[in-house]
Structures are given as structure tokens and as C-alpha cells.
Amino acid sequence: MEEKIKLGVSSCLLGNKVRYDGGHKLDPFLASTLGQFVEYVPVCPEVEAGFPVPREAFRLVGDPRHPRLVTRQSGVDATPRMERWIEKKLPQLEKEGLCGFIFKSQSPSSGMERVKVYNEKGMAEKKGVGIFARALMERLPLLPVEEEGRLQDIHLRENFIVRVFAYRRWQELLAAGPTAGRLVEFQRRHKLLLMAHGPEAARRLGKLVAGLGSRPLPEVLAGYRELFMAALKQKATVRKNVNVLQHMFGYFKRQLDGFEKGEMLSLIEEYRHNLIPLIVPLTLLKHYIGKFQQPYLKDQYYLDPHPLELKLRNHA
């Protein structure tokens, strides 16, 4: 991967002073840590649609499925202006080749879920989606998306980053010109990662690829892409990771002596009981994969699904 991965992001999260009150919502993890590995495409729907800084704050009003974007005090309906901007902006974003989008939570324009929507009596329910966020997610339904608040959770953070890097690999497969052989190889290298997220989906993907001879490639690709992204959206739990670790360990039963086997099994058990993070048993397994040059395991994406420097498996 020579070029950096492109991620869309709500502009205020990078420290840009675009909020209604002239402030920002700098997120240090996004700006400093993740920012080293990705190229951000900042988007502020309200400013780009032509609203000034500072400005009167907006809120969502009406039917939570189709709310209006309305100024808080004066009640001006800004929906048509925002929708005109969205119509122009979405094709531009599609061309950017984004591999994910990080939204600012609770925003009537950018919030991904549980945004307050007010009814005619002024009562709010957290059932809305920001106007821009909804349009983007409808246009690119498989694009990995998250909110900055949810990314504080280490498991949700790891899951999002895994999906972003996997989405990039999928885009690279498409750019290279997908063939049956390339899809088989793609599935093979993702097999353990898929097992760690969605074992059932991993089996279905395996069957889909096995049926390549009897169905047209475009049809298989379309089905594969949806199932692949849906599988990775499932959380990689301790139980599922233990299954994958044991599966990998099975490849070395003949090569390891009694002491080495005991050591490996105890690390897996310690991980199962939350005494050590995933990185510990995985590091020892990676050592054996390198030492014995295990051909099937050595290029599995499960081993390094994202940059080590993000330390996403040090706490999980």
C-alpha cells in the first residue's frame, strides 16, 4: 500500500474552527495518532453549504426518518440549501476513493446515529441521523463509518480500523481487475480474519468462492463484497480469537516440543481469561510462523490487519 488510505472526517474533529460557535472539537487520537497513517478529507457540511462561522445552531425537527434541518431560535428551514450542496458533494466524495468516514456525533448535519430530533411540542427523541451523514451512508452503504465518541471504545476502534484497511484491499482488488484467481487468493488471505469476526459468514464466503465455476464472476463479486464487509462488522470477541489462535496452533503440533506446546497453550488460556492482551499469544505464533515458514499462515491478514504502531491489539 504505497498511497495513504483516504478517510473522510467531520472537519471540526481535526481542530478546524468551523463549529456554530466558532470553536472546534479536536480529537487527539484522530489528529495525531491515526492521522500518521491516513490522509484525511475534511468535510464540514454546514460551512461548505455556505453557512457562516459563527452561525445560529441547527437542530433536526419533524419525522425522525425525514427530519428538517432548522435553525434553533429563528426556525429557518435550511434543508433545501443543505440538500442542494449534498447533491453536488456526494459525487465528488465518491471520486476521492475514501475507505471510511468518521462523523462528529450528535450533530444534526454530521451525526451518524441517535441525533436528537424535536417534535412540534419541542420534545426531543434521540432517533435521528444527520442530514449529510444519512445521505453519504445511503450513497455508499458498504463504506466503513464511525463516530468519534464510539471510537473511544478500544473494541469499536479496532473493528473500524480493520474494516477500513479491508475495504482498501477490496478496492485494490477491483482496481487490479478482479479475476476468479484473485478472488480465491483474496478469500484465502482473509480467512482467519473473517473467522475472528464472523465464522458463519466466513463459511458462506468460502462456499461463494467455491461456486465460482458455476456462476458469473460479477454476480459472485457483488454477493461477496456485501457479505465480506458485513462479516467484518461483527466484533472479534475473545472466544472467536481463541478459536483462531487454536486453529493456527494446530499447524505446529508436529514441530513444537512439549515445553513449547505447553507455553503456547498457557498463553492462549491466559488470553481467554483476560489476563493478557491478544498481542501476546499472537506474537509467539508469529515467531513460529516465521521460524517454520508456514506457507498458509504467513500471509494471513489476521496477523497484521492494521499498523502495529496503532497498538490496537495491546489492550484487546
Q: Which of 293, 291, 313, 306 is nearest to 245 (CA)?
A: 313
Stretch that binds ligand SF4, among 6-14, 93-101, 231-239, 306-314 (CB under 6 A): 6-14
Residue 143 carries which side chain, given as an amino acid letter? L
- Which of residues 106 and 234 has its CB atom nearest to ligand SF4 in the complex? 106
Under rule CB under 6 A, residue 313 binds ligand SF4: no
Are 168 and 230 a contacting pair, CB within 8 Å? no
* Three-class SS state of 46: helix
Are 192 and 298 a contacting pair, CB within 8 Å? no
Q: Which of 7, 34, 46, 59 binds ligand SF4 (CB under 6 A)?
A: 46
- Which of residues 47 and 289 has its CB atom nearest to ligand SF4 in the complex? 47
Q: Between residue 243 and residue 282, which ones bind ligand SF4 under the rule CB under 6 A?
A: none
Under rule CB under 6 A, residue 89 binds ligand SF4: no
Under rule CB under 6 A, residue 110 binds ligand SF4: yes
Contacts with ligand SF4 by CB under 6 A: the residue count is: 13
Q: Which of 9, 226, 231 is nearest to 112 (CA)?
A: 9
- For the bound state, the minimum distance from the C-beta of residue 48 to ligand SF4, rounded and expressed in Å, comes to 8
CA–CA separation, 66 and 103 (whole Å): 19
- For the bound state, the minimum distance from the C-beta of residue 133 to ligand SF4, rounded and expressed in Å, comes to 9
Q: Between residue 17 and residue 36, which ones bind ligand SF4 under the rule CB under 6 A?
A: 18-19
Under rule CB under 6 A, residue 12 binds ligand SF4: yes
CA–CA separation, 58 and 244 (whole Å): 47
CA–CA separation, 59 and 129 (whole Å): 11
Q: Which of 34, 61, 107, 201 binds ligand SF4 (CB under 6 A)?
A: 107
Residue 172, exposed/middle/buried by CB under 10 A (0-12, 13-18, 19+)? exposed
Q: Which residues bind ligand SF4 (CB under 6 A)?
A: 10-12, 18-19, 44-47, 104, 107, 109-110
